Structure 1
Amino acid sequence: MRIGLLGTGPWARAAYAPALAGHGSLDFAGVWGRRPEAAAELAGEYGVRAYGDVDALLGDVDAVAVALPPVVQAELALRAATAGRHLLLDKPLALGVAEGRAVVEAAERARVASVVFFTTRFQQEPEAWIGEQAAADGWFTARAQWLGSLFTGESPFADSPWRREKGALWDVGPHALSVLLPVLGDVRRVAAAVHGPADTVHLVLDHAGGASSTVTLSLTAPPAAAGADVELRGEAGVTLLPRSAEGAVPALSRAADALVTAARTGRGHPCDAAFGLRVTEILAEAETLLGKDVG
C-alpha cells in the first residue's frame, strides 16, 4: 500500500513519519504540508517526494495518513476519501459533528477503509486489558483521569492554536472515551459537564450498559500531577488500566496494520471514522453543557 503523509508538525515528525517509513507493509511515498519548506525538509529526511499540491499526492497513493489540526484534517480527509484513498487519521476526527459526519459518509460512499489513531487503543497491554474488560459483565462505575501538563511544562505542542482554543476536552477527551466506550457501552447522555481549574473539565457520563463514569480532563495540571488512569468497579471487583512503556511509534505502526487489514478484507476496524464521529458527538454534547456552565 502506497501511503502519503499530510502534515509536517511535531506529531508528524515524532510519530507518523517514522512509523510509516518503518512499516513493512507500507510504501511511504511522500509528504505534503501547509509550509512547502517544512514538507521538503521532512521528505528529505526519509528520501521521499515532497508534494506542493495535495491532489498530486492523492493521485500517487492508495492511502493517506493525516497529522494535522482536526479542522484541517476533516477537510482533507473528506477530499482523500472522495478520491478513493484509505484513511489513517488522528484524534479528534473533527471539531464539529457535521464535518466528522461528512468524512464518514464520504468513506462509506467510496468504500475505503479508515482507522483513527487513539494511542491507548493500539498499545499492547492497554489493548488487551480493554478487550478483557469489554467481555466482562456487571460494571457499576468507572473513573477516568487524563491529566496533562501541556501548558505548564515544556512541550512541542504548547503553541498549538487549536489545543489552546479547545483545551483538554478535545485533546485528551478522545483518549478517555476511546477506553470507556468499548467497555461500558455507548454514552446515552452527558449527565453533567463543569469547569475546573484553568482548562480542566469534569464530566459525568451515562452509559448504555447501565454503568456511569466520571471523567476529569486537563492540559494544565502541575507536571508532578500529570498522568492517565482508568479505574473500573463492578461485580468482578476493581481493575485499573495498565500503563504501557510503548511510545507512539509502535502503537501507530499497529494502527497502520489495522488499516492495511481493513483495506484488504473490507471489514471495518472498531476505531474507524464512524467511531471517531461518535466520540466527536459526545464531546460536542459536553461542550454545549460546558457553555451553559459558563453562562
Structure 2
Amino acid sequence: MRFGLLGTGPWAELAHGPALRDHPDVELAGVWGRRPEAAADIAERFGGRPYDDVDALLADCDAVAVALPPDIQAPLAVRAAKAGCHLLLDKPVATTVAAAREVADAAEAAGVASVVFFTLRFRPETAAWLEEQRVTGGWQLGRADWLGGIFAEGAAPSPYAASPWRREKGGLWDVGPHALSVLLPVLGDVADLDGSVAAVSGAGETVQLALRHASGASSTCALGLAVAPAAAVTRVELRGTAGVVTLPERGSDAVTALGHAVDALLASARTGEPHPCDIRFGVRVTEILAAAEARLGG
C-alpha cells in the first residue's frame, strides 16, 4: 500500500518515518509538511519524495499517515478521505467534537478504513493484558495516572516541549487519550456525557478526571505535562472481584507499535472490518475529553 506521510515534526521523524520505511507491505510514496525543507529532509531519510501540494500527494497514495497537531490533522484527514485514502491518524483526532465527527463522516462516505494510533493499544503486551482483564470482568474501579514533566521547570529536554498545541491544551488532550484508550475497553463506555464526566484542575497544570462507566464501574485519571520530574508516572490499575491488577510497565517501542497499527489498517482496508481503534472510537474519546474540558470551563 502506498502511504503519504503528512507532518515533519519529531513524531514523524522518530516514529512514522521509521515504521513506514521498515514495513514490508508499505511503500512510502511521499512526504508533505508545512515546512518544505523539513519535508525534503524526511523524504530523503525515509523514502518517497517531498510534495509541496498536499492534494497532489493524496492523489498519488492509497493511504495517509498523519503526524500533525490535532486541529491541523482533522481537516486534512477529511480531504484525504474524500480523495479515497485510508487513514492512519494520531490521537486525539481533533480537539472539537464537530471536527472529529466531520472526519468520521468523510471516512464513512468514502468507504475508507481508519485506525487511530493510541500507542499502548498497539503494543502486543498491552493488548493481551487488556483482553485478559476484559474476559476476567468484575472490575469496580479503574485508575490511570499519566503525569509527565516535559513543561516542568528543570525537566530534561524533550523534542515535544516545543509543541504549541500541547502547551495550549495540556495533559487532558495529550495524555488523556492514552488513559481512555486502556480504561474504556475494560470498563466500558462512559454512561453519559452529561452526568458521568467530572473534572477539576490543580497544581502543576494537572487535571483530575472522574468517569462513571456503563458497566457500573467508575474510574479516575490524573493527567498532566508539567508535574515535577520526580513525580512523573505512567500507571494503570484495576480493582474488582479478582483483586488488584496493574498494567505492565514495559512494552514494545513506539516504532514497533506503529508497525502494528499499520498492520491493523491494512487488514481493515482488505476485509472491510472496522478496527476497535477506528475513527469512531477516536470521536468518542474526543467527546469525553470535550465534556471534561467543559467542566473545567475551558
Distance 1:124 1:256 in 2: 14
1:175 corresponds to: 178
Tell me what 2:27 maps to: 27
Q: Quote the offset at 1:199 in angstroms.
A: 1.6
Tell me if the contact between 1:124 and 1:244 (Cα under 8 Å) persists in the aligned partners.
no
Residue of structure 2 aligned with 1:222, choices 228, 231, 254: 228
Mapped partners of 1:40, 1:191: distance in 2? 44
Q: 2:17 & 2:38 partners in 1: Cα distance?
A: 13
Amino acid at match of 2:238: L
TM (normalized to structure 1)?
A: 0.97
* SS state at 1:180 partner: helix
TM-score by length of 2: 0.96
Name which of structure 1's ranges 181-190 and 160-169 shifts more when overlaid on structure 2.
181-190
Task: Work out the CA distance in 2 between the residues paired with 1:99 and 1:109.
Answer: 15
Looking at structure 2, the residues matched to 16 and 97 of structure 1 have their Cα atoms a distance apart, in angstroms, of: 26
Supply the distance in 1 between the matched residues of 2:225 and 2:147 (Cα, whole angstroms). Answer: 6
Moved over 4 A (4+): none
1:55 and 2:61 equivalent?
A: no
Residue type of the partner of 2:289? L
What's the CA shift for 1:245?
Answer: 3.6
Of residues 154, 159, 168, the one that matches 1:156 is 159
Are 1:125 and 1:243, in contact at CA under 8 Å, matched by a contact in 2?
Answer: no
Q: Does residue 251 of structure 2 align to residue 248 of structure 1?
A: no
Q: Shift of residue 198 of structure 1?
A: 2.6
Q: 1:78-89, aligned counterparts within 5 Å?
A: 78-89=78-89
Letter in 1 for 2:177: P
**Aligned counterpart, 1:201:** 207
Q: Give me the whole-angstrom Cα distance separating, in 2, the residues matched to 1:108 and 1:33.
A: 26
Question: Is this contact kept in 1: 2:28–2:47, CA < 8 A?
Answer: no
2:187 pairs, out of 184, 197, 200, with 184
Q: In the TM superposition, what is the alpha-carbon distance from 1:221 to its structure 2 partner?
A: 1.6
Per the TM alignment, residue 247 of structure 1 is displaced from its structure 2 partner at its CA by 1.4
Query: Corresponding residue for 1:165?
Result: 168
CA-to-aligned-CA distance 1:3-44 (integer Å, 9 cap, x gap): 010000011000000000000111111100011111011111
- What value does the CA root-mean-square deviation take over the aligned residues? 1.0
1:282 to 2:288 alignment: yes
User: In the alignment, which residue of structure 2 is the partner of 1:7?
Assistant: 7
8 Å Cα contact 2:147/2:223 also seen in 1: yes
Given that 1:126 and 1:243 are in contact with CA atoms closer than 8 Å, whether structure 2 keeps it comes out as no
Residue in 1 that maps onto 2:242: 236
Deviates more, 1:211-220 or 1:182-191: 182-191
What is residue 263 of structure 1 aligned with on the other side?
Answer: 269
Equivalents in 1 of 2:59, 2:88: separation in Å?
Answer: 17
**Aligned equivalents of 2:284, 2:113: Cα separation in 1:** 17
Tell me if the contact between 2:145 and 2:223 (Cα under 8 Å) persists in the aligned partners: yes
Per-residue CA shift, 1:221-259, capped at 9, x if unaligned? 222221211110111111101112421100000000000
Equivalent pair of 2:125/2:252 in contact (CA under 8 Å): no
How many pairs align? 292
CA contact (8 A) 1:29 1:61 kept: yes
- Give 1:134 shift: 1.4
- Structure 1 contact 146–218 (Cα < 8 Å) conserved: yes
The sequence identity of aligned pairs, in percent, is 64
